[in-house]
Amino acid sequence: MIEEIGTTEQGELVVNLGPQHPSTHGVLHLVVTLSGETIKKVEPHLGYIHRSIEKMCESLSYRQFIYVTSRMDYLSSHINNHGCALCVEKGMQIEVPPRAKVIRVLMDELTRLASHQLWWGAMAMDVGALTPFFYAFREREAINDIMEETCGARLTMNYMAPGGVAFDLHPDFQRKVKDFLAFFRTKIDEYDELVTDNIIFQRRMEGIGYLSSEDAISYGCTGPTARGSGVSCDIRKSVPYEVYSQVQFEEVLETGGDCFARYNVRMGEMRQSISIIEQLIDNIPGGEFLAKTKAVLKLPKGEFYSKVETARGEFGVYIISEGGTTPYRIKFRSPGFSNLSALDHMARGHKIGDLVAIMGTLDLVIPDIDR
């Protein structure tokens, strides 16, 4: 029910936060019920950036619909494309060449790094520190340049295709990634020095927005949001796809359940991503980067589901095929939507200023929630 803006009979204040508020990182509209400064209720209103992507996909062929998913969670466009490509490959039973598998994982991890860097900057900005935002963008720029060289785009890549990847790696790719990792290893320690160890930042995060592991499961939270509450839910570990079963990495788990725990999970994930890239960058097998497929892809009649771990959680693609060249129905399970549903539970009882910090640790991307 949409609340009236104003004062209720109990003397509670109902105010709008967004949809044009800078701290909501997009067109998210929250109707907040306040008693003094204390939050009684948070009600997200969605639909401001709904583009009906699922319906659009029904009229696009299996090669064409992948590019649309870059526009959902634009910070992890590679991983979204990856999930779609995996689902089509599952239906068509296409064998992906080993080189493409490694390239895909490398790109996924670089995307995860870039996404977490942006989140780190925006998170610090949300709680009042402006400078980290510029540092985060400086490092992210290096990844964007690498992406631009190999994929031809900086944000909406459309690099993953059914059967592999669209182009081979750029000859400079390995050297540039190694340079970047050497550079970023020192910078991530600076991140800790600048923000993680900062006493003001810690006091604003510790004990704020508590989410128990039971609640995280029942709200359907995935990704760093759930792992901050001690729920082991990393798709890369539980259902390994591509070469994730062959690389050594840890699933970062924190048991605190508060904002600082979720923050630490993401910081830990950045270090794990660096380690995954380091293991793979010298071991890219040769050979084909794109499997030979038919010109027109036709999925057999049936239902197919595949899931990948994006920077925000589990991204699922569910295709129902009637045997034609276009899907009968596509459903995307986006991580942001489920994570947002826990916001009301987390924010109740906290002060209005903490709402922004809680939203920051959820790492919301609004086009991903609305689709």
Partner 1 sequence: MAFLRTYLSDIYHGARSLLKGMKLTGYYFTHRKEIITQQYPDNKAEMKLPERFRGEVVMLHDENNEHACTGCTACELACPNGTIKIITKIETSPDGKKKKALDTFIYHLELCTMCNLCIQACPTDAIKMAQNFEHSVYDRSQLTKNLNKPGSKIREGVE
Q: Which residue in 68, 106, 311, 343 binds partner 1 (CB under 8 A)?
A: 68
Least Å from the CB of residue 276 to partner 1 = 25
**Sheet bearing 13-17, strands edge to edge:** 6-7, 13-17, 29-35, 38-45
Which 91-130 positions form the footprint of partner 1 (CB under 8 A)? none
The answer to whether the beta carbons of residues 301 and 322 sit under 8 Å apart is yes
Whose Cβ is closer to partner 1: residue 46's or residue 291's?
291
Q: Which residue in 37, 95, 179, 190 binds partner 1 (CB under 8 A)?
A: 190
Task: Give the whole-angstrom CA distance, residue 248 versus residue 236.
Answer: 11
Q: Which region among 163-171, 313-321, 336-344, 360-368 touches partner 1 (by CB under 8 A)?
A: 163-171
Task: Give the whole-angstrom CA distance, residue 298 versus residue 55.
Answer: 19
Q: Does 149 bind partner 1 (CB under 8 A)?
A: yes
The answer to whether the beta carbons of residues 351 and 37 sit under 8 Å apart is yes
Least Å from the CB of residue 322 to partner 1 = 20
Least Å from the CB of residue 190 to partner 1 = 6
Residue 11 neighbours by CB distance under 10 Å: 8
CA distances from 139 to 66, 117, 229 (A): 28, 8, 28
Give the number of residues in contact with partner 1, rule: CB under 8 A: 30
Q: Does 64 bind partner 1 (CB under 8 A)?
A: yes
Q: Which region among 25-33, 151-159, 251-259, 308-316 touches partner 1 (by CB under 8 A)?
A: 151-159
Task: Give the whole-angstrom CA distance, residue 31 versus residue 45.
Answer: 7
Q: Which residue in 10, 199, 248, 282 binds partner 1 (CB under 8 A)?
A: 199
Q: What H or E segment, with its residue span, contains residue 355?
A: helix 352-362
Sheet strands (E) in the chain: 6-7, 13-17, 29-35, 38-45, 160-161, 164-165, 302-309, 314-321, 329-333
Q: Which residue in 148, 215, 288, 344 binds partner 1 (CB under 8 A)?
A: 148
Contacting residues toward partner 1, per CB under 8 A:
60, 63-65, 67-68, 131, 135, 138, 141, 148-153, 156, 158, 161, 166-167, 170, 190, 193-195, 197-200
